[in-house]
Structure 1
Amino acid sequence: MTILLSVTGFDPMRWLAALQKAGSQRAIVLEPKDATDPSIEYAVVWKQPPGLLENLPNLKAIFSLGAGVDHILADKRLPDVPVARIVAEDLSGRMSEYVVWRVLDHFRRGRAYRTQQAQKIWHERMQPAAREITVGIMGFGELGRDAADKLKALGFRLAGWGRSPKPAEGVEMFAGEDGLGPFLAASDILVVLLPLTEATRGIIDAKLLSRLKRDTPLGGPVLINAGRGGLQNEAAILDALEQDRLMEASLDVFTVEPLPATSPLWTHPRVFVTPHVAASSDPDALAPTIMQQIAAHERGEKLRHLVDRAAGY
């Protein structure tokens, strides 16, 4: 039995070493012998070349190297085998760190105080309490739930939105199209952690931003997108900032990555840019999760965290 590791966009060698360490008895290759290599039974991928997996006759399952799977499903020649997401404490923890960091920075007037420091201005800003602020989390899967738990411990009010109802203790939940408007109207800080699907592509548009709560204790609504770049219309975000329908934004993902040097997002005074680092996959932390899944499947156990291809996540 052979595992195919196919990575595009970064050096695969750290993943190869981590997977070998986690499954020392497994053969792992960086490319198949040919298009119909019968030895390959599992594929671990990030943006695999289109058609690479199409004709592997004994392929049993495909594993993503990240929380998202849109990079896998973009391959229109993908074979009909199970696709599994990574769900791991390390990945959830890293995302929650990013979300809490950005929420607290906006909440505690980070941009205003950095500006004052540059101008040597000593001036105390009015500061609401965390209990006065509602953080709305759009996309309430494993990552969203973990972030909500961390924010709840700090005293924030929480709202959550998803395609279907997902009750969570201490979180006001909304679901579906009927719940989207009330959810947005309740959110002082909007955190977007949605997967990228045909239903969510471009969802952060002018209409959505216009439905955000306007009169917030912070002086206006805040957007934090750490989901996928394809979720957002960047022109709409810039327009909302210019029209004061959006006070500030933290963006970790973009429609084109790396973000082009010509993008006005780089220099906008009310936008905080990070280079898709909210929840970077750590090979040493995540490789054991993948290898444990493969070992369990070989014992006849069901794979966990399977992707619904129709839903796209």
Structure 2
Amino acid sequence: MGILLNNAPYDNDPWVHYLNQYLPDIPVFVYPDVPDVKAVKYAATWDHPAGDFERYPNLRAILHLGAGMDLIDAQPTLPDVPIVRLVDPEVGLDMAQFALYWTLHFQRNFEQYRTLARDSRWDRLDYINSKRYNVAVVGLGLIGTQIAQTIASNRFKVLGWSRRSQILEGVTNLNGEDGLKRALEHADVVINCLPLNDNTHHFFDSEKLAWLKQGANIINISRGGVFDDTALIDGLNNGRIGAAALDVFAVEPLPEDHVYWQMPNVFVTPHMSGATYARSACRTLADNIERLEAGEDPFPIYIPKSKQS
């Protein structure tokens, strides 16, 4: 029995170290150095070559090394085994703190203060108290839920939208198109937490961005393709959108000649809102492998696009 590891294009060494620490009796094979394909029982992978999973006849589960599942959905074929998302509490905390930072940045006018400081100006700016500052969190999966609850716990007025009705304490829960329109019309900040799939590609198009209140701000921490870049740029240029903190993009790394780099009301970060830590992530992987070895279900299981009815 062994674990196939492929964290491409990132470093595998820390993952090998912690998997060996948490599961000392299970060998780890770093792709493509797999001495015996029959020995692979679990695959812990990120951007894995298309079709390679089919090579391992004794594979029992695919443990994806991230919360976003677009790379899994891009696989042309997948074996009939459980596919497990990586839900690392430390990553969720990082992403919630990232979202909270930018919410505070916009609410308290910190960018305007930076501009004033350059001119040595001692001016105080009015701002909206957090209890009246509306933050719309769009997408209430595991990460979106943690973000909504974190921001609500800091006394912001949080509007949480999902396709299906949910109940989160301290959050105004909305669903359906009418609920989305209400959330966007009232939001001072919109935080996108939707996954990227066929239903959410360019979800935020010109029609939905036109629902925003004048000067609303955007925080995108899920996937760049959820926004129509042309519509987002238009909104930023015409003032419908005040500013955008963008951590994810349709093409990554963001090309050097992309207009986002030059826009004064766009804040670019290099997909770092929730770094994956090998130490804590491998603990989660080990827990799921131990569940499988005990005949229990891993958590959370993901149904890929190719297998959705």
TM-score (norm 1): 0.94
Are 1:299 and 2:287 matched, yes or no? no
When structure 1 is superposed on structure 2, of 273-282 and 53-62 the one drifting more is 53-62
The DSSP-based 3-state class of the residue aligned with 1:250 is strand
Are 1:282 and 2:269 matched, yes or no? no
Q: 1:36 to 1:212 in 2, by over 3 A?
A: farther
Name the residue aligned to 2:117: 117
Partners of 2:72 and 2:304 within 8 A in 1: no
CA displacement at 1:204 relative to structure 2 = 2.0
Tell me the amino acid that sits aligned with residue 46 of structure 2: W
The correspondence for 1:225, drawn from 213, 220, 226, is 220
2-structure distance, mates of 1:174, 1:246? 22
CA displacement at 1:297 relative to structure 2 = 0.7
CA displacement at 1:4 relative to structure 2 = 0.3
CA displacement at 1:176 relative to structure 2 = 2.8
Partners of 1:130 and 1:156 within 8 A in 2: yes
2-structure distance, mates of 1:33, 1:10? 16
Partners of 2:73 and 2:306 within 8 A in 1: no
CA displacement at 1:183 relative to structure 2 = 2.1
CA displacement at 1:177 relative to structure 2 = 3.0
Partners of 1:197 and 1:312 within 8 A in 2: no
Tell me the amino acid that sits aligned with residue 12 of structure 1: N
Name the residue aligned to 1:209: 209
Partners of 2:73 and 2:305 within 8 A in 1: no
Name the residue aligned to 1:69: 69
Name the residue aligned to 1:250: 245
Q: 1:208 to 1:36 in 2, by over 3 A?
A: farther
Partners of 1:159 and 1:183 within 8 A in 2: yes
Are 1:238 and 2:233 matched, yes or no? yes
Number of equivalent positions: 308
CA displacement at 1:7 relative to structure 2 = 2.2
Name the residue aligned to 2:304: 309
Partners of 1:36 and 1:57 within 8 A in 2: no
Name the residue aligned to 2:191: 191
Name the residue aligned to 2:23: 23
Give aligned-pair identity as a percent: 32
Tell me the amino acid that sits aligned with residue 297 of structure 1: L
Name the residue aligned to 1:46: 46
The DSSP-based 3-state class of the residue aligned with 1:158 is strand
Deviations, residues 78-103 of structure 1 (Å, cap 9, x unaligned): 22221111122211111111000110
Shift >6 Å, 4+ stretches: 33-36
1-structure distance, mates of 2:132, 2:31? 54
CA displacement at 1:5 relative to structure 2 = 0.5
The DSSP-based 3-state class of the residue aligned with 1:54 is helix
CA displacement at 1:121 relative to structure 2 = 1.9
CA displacement at 1:310 relative to structure 2 = 4.2
TM-score (norm 2): 0.95
CA displacement at 1:191 relative to structure 2 = 0.3
Q: 1:52 to 1:311 in 2, by over 3 A?
A: closer
CA displacement at 1:311 relative to structure 2 = 9.4
2-structure distance, mates of 1:40, 1:174? 44
1-structure distance, mates of 2:119, 2:64? 47
Unaligned segments of structure 2, at least 5 residues? none
Name the residue aligned to 1:272: 267
Name the residue aligned to 1:7: 7
The DSSP-based 3-state class of the residue aligned with 2:114 is helix
Deviations, residues 61-81 of structure 1 (Å, cap 9, x unaligned): 111111111112211122222
Unaligned segments of structure 1, at least 5 residues? 215-219
Partners of 2:213 and 2:240 within 8 A in 1: no
Name the residue aligned to 1:217: none
Partners of 1:55 and 1:79 within 8 A in 2: no
2-structure distance, mates of 1:39, 1:20? 16
Are 1:60 and 2:60 matched, yes or no? yes
Tell me the amino acid that sits aligned with residue 60 of structure 2: K
